[in-house]
Structure 1
Amino acid sequence: MEWASYGRRRVYDSPWVEVWLDDVDIPGVGRIDHHVIRMPKPSVTSVVTNEAGEFLLIYRHRFITGRWGWEVPAGWVDAGEELAEAIAREVEEETGWRPGRVEPLTEYDALAGISTMHFTAFHVTGCTRLGEPVDVSEATRVEWLPEAEVVRLLTSGGIPDGPSHAALSFYLGPYRIAHGKA
């Protein structure tokens, strides 16, 4: 079943988020105003690994949820920037490590029922240490963690961030199975 759309009106917008009311007809429900959150910039995320099988994660506080947790490097794509360039920039700014190789991992719609938030995840390898992170507002700690610790964090709530959860879970499961690395 596909919804019919009869127009939309903007309720709020900023460089970071837009809120719209779409006039839609939902089969079996009727015509309603449906809230839609649009993200004006594409989002990128990464799973950064090294030859020892460790994962590069950042530890930070998220104001909105009031939670501390581990996350993968991620961010928004600037105007005119390629997705792979954006994640390479984000990894370097947030961690102090320069990516060597950046390869597509997966894509997904984070909140498909209400938002256009679309993530493209990359697998980053061959990093070179440059020094301390440039963007000091991103993380309290930056660490290489062994796979067993990442799995423990995923299953215990230590990685509460959705994009981090999705990218790491995809990498540890379907990606490795599809590439004969499981």
Structure 2
Amino acid sequence: MEWKSYGRRRVYDSPYVEVWLDDVDIPGVGRIDHHVVTMPRASTTSVVTDDQGRFLLLYRHRFITGRWGWEVPAGWAEPGEDPAVAIAREVEEETGWRPGQVVPLVEYDALAGISTMRFRCFHVTGCKYVGEPTDRSEASRVEWLTEREVVKLLAAGDVPDGPSLAALSYYLGPHRLLGGAVSDVR
């Protein structure tokens, strides 16, 4: 069943998020105002690995959820910026490691029922250490972890960030099972 839209009105906007009310007709329910959250900038994530099979992760606190956890490097692309260039910039700013190669891994809709937020995830390799992270607000620690350590963190719930959980799980699952093939990204 497909919903029919009769228009939308903006409720709130900022450089980071926009909230809309869409006037929609839902088959079997009727017309309602449905909240839609949009992001003015493209979201990017990365799975960063080295030639020893380790993963580069950030340990940080998220004040909104009040939780500490491990995350992959991530961030927004500036308007008009290529998402691959954006994630290379974010990896270096957040970790102090300059990417060598950045290739598409997978794309997905993060909150398809309420948001247009779409994440583009990249696999980053060939990193060279260039110094301390320039964005010191991103993490308490930046560490290279073994695959076994990452799998244990995932299983223990110590990767509570959805985009990080999706990126790492996709890399360790379908990406590996397909022999490292890139997903059919749109």
Under a length normalisation based on structure 1, what TM-score does the superposition of the two structures give? 0.98
Matched residue pairs, number?
181
**Secondary structure at the residue paired with 1:92?**
helix
CA separation of 1:17 and 1:8: change in aligned 2, threshold 3 A: same
Partner of 1:119: 119
Q: Distance in 1 between matches of 2:157 and 2:178?
A: 26
In structure 2, what residue type is equivalent to 1:60? Answer: R
CA separation of 1:180 and 1:41: change in aligned 2, threshold 3 A: closer
In structure 1, what residue type is equivalent to 2:142? Answer: V
Partner of 2:110: 110
- Unaligned 5+ segments in structure 1 are none
Partner of 1:164: 164
Q: Kindly report which structure 2 residues correspond to 1:1-182, keeping only aligned pairs within 5 A, or say none.
A: 1-179=1-179
- Render the CA deviation track for 1:57-98: whole Å, top value 9, x for unaligned: 000000100000000000000122101000000000000000
- Alpha-carbon offset, residue 162 of structure 1: 0.2
- Alpha-carbon offset, residue 180 of structure 1: 6.2
| Percent of aligned positions that are identical | 76
Q: Distance in 2 between matches of 1:31 and 1:39?
A: 25
- Render the CA deviation track for 1:15-57: whole Å, top value 9, x for unaligned: 0000000000000110000000011111000000001100000
- Unaligned 5+ segments in structure 2 are 182-186
- Which consecutive segments of 4 or more residues in structure 1 shift more than 4 A? none
The Cα RMSD (Å) is: 0.9
**Secondary structure at the residue paired with 1:91?**
helix
In structure 2, what residue type is equivalent to 1:129? Answer: Y
